[in-house]
Structure 1
Amino acid sequence: MAKIHPIRPLPPPEEEPSLDLHARAMDNLRFIRETMERAGSFTAVSGWGQVVIGVAAVLAAAVAQMRPASTETWLGTWVAAAVVSMLVGVLTTSMKARSARMPMLTGPGRKFIVSLAPPLVAGAVLTVVLFRAGMSHLLPGAWLLLYGAGIITAGAFSVSAVPVMGLCFMLVGAAAAFTPASWGNAWMAAGFGGLHVVFGIIIARRHGG
């Protein structure tokens, strides 16, 4: 007679470490997202914002040319235009970044800002130094050169049109540095006005506004 073995119940399946798997999956997703942010480009530069900045610069050049020949009033006009342009640039870029769900203070956005800031700060310091030294006629060339340098370095983390625009600014700045001081407003209008309008339209059409 065959021996009958008792039926033993199967051991209960081991519980899957669902919490650990979820945590690891979230860590992997976070790593992938941060890697993509570091490797990506900051495409939230507002083309239409650049157009507005360019129009403001043309108006500033016209006002500075019409006002009495005073260094203080000329400088005040352009400083006011710079402040307005900065506000317009920050606002329009923030709006575009928000609509594209692209952070401005992390990844390529942070690199763009950090690369652009030092030349702008240097330009502000040189403005005070040259004005106090009675050499304000050198400001158009210095402003255009430093702004162009900042746009080139920041443009390394943005779309291809941005560093090209920076190079054009530097070329206009170099021309302004070697031409008569009376041409300063014209160079400022061509650079801060014309280049912003032209490249703003290019960026807006190719990169969504």
Structure 2
Amino acid sequence: MGLPYENRDAAGRALIRAVRERGWVRPDLLVYGLARGGVPVAAEIARALNVPLEVMLVRKLGAPGQEELAMGAIASGGFEVLNTELMGLLGVDEAALASLRRAQQRELARRERLYRGSRVPAQPAGRPVLLVDDGAATGASMAVAARALRGARAARVWLALPVAAQEALRRLEAEADGVLCLASPEPFLAVGAWYQDFRQTSDEQVRACLAASPGEPGGVS
């Protein structure tokens, strides 16, 4: 399928064959969608392979008064990445960092409850995992998520993207056991430029994707 993708569902379907060709389909595979936009892409893959779908959340730790400037990030499972050099330049001390961390941890927990409800998350320890997003301009969020899955002792961490900037791919290759990307156009512009329909994924869509996921143990279709 060429660019642009019709929507995120179509992008997910385009990835399925490539995932199979890579030899990444395993009976114990877990597919993670990076919330929120990566979840419908990942859902198509999980459905086709008949394996469980999980959600991975990443929250940016924005600089005080400059929230768009990321000093680091936290991810599902309590994993954290910090840019200590930037924190030093901005004069952000441990007390300020702790306050930011608590706020984002509360938001992570709220979203986890919202998306999963009473559903118990599958555990990645000792299993291969496939982390999926709808695209990557910088790769920063996906890199943090990949590190979180490594920290959770996943046996393999594979990344799949319909489209990404070449610089983002170079960054991600250092974080994973394999990176699959269907297209890396330059100039990249933005992820949304490569979709006909790039409307924001809603919380309700994320919940619906998770609710429709096959339970464990997963089989391969």
TM-score (norm: length of structure 1):
0.28
The structure where helix makes up a greater share of residues is 1
Larger radius of gyration: 1
Q: What TM-score do you get using the length of structure 2 for normalisation? A: 0.27
More strand as a share of residues: 2
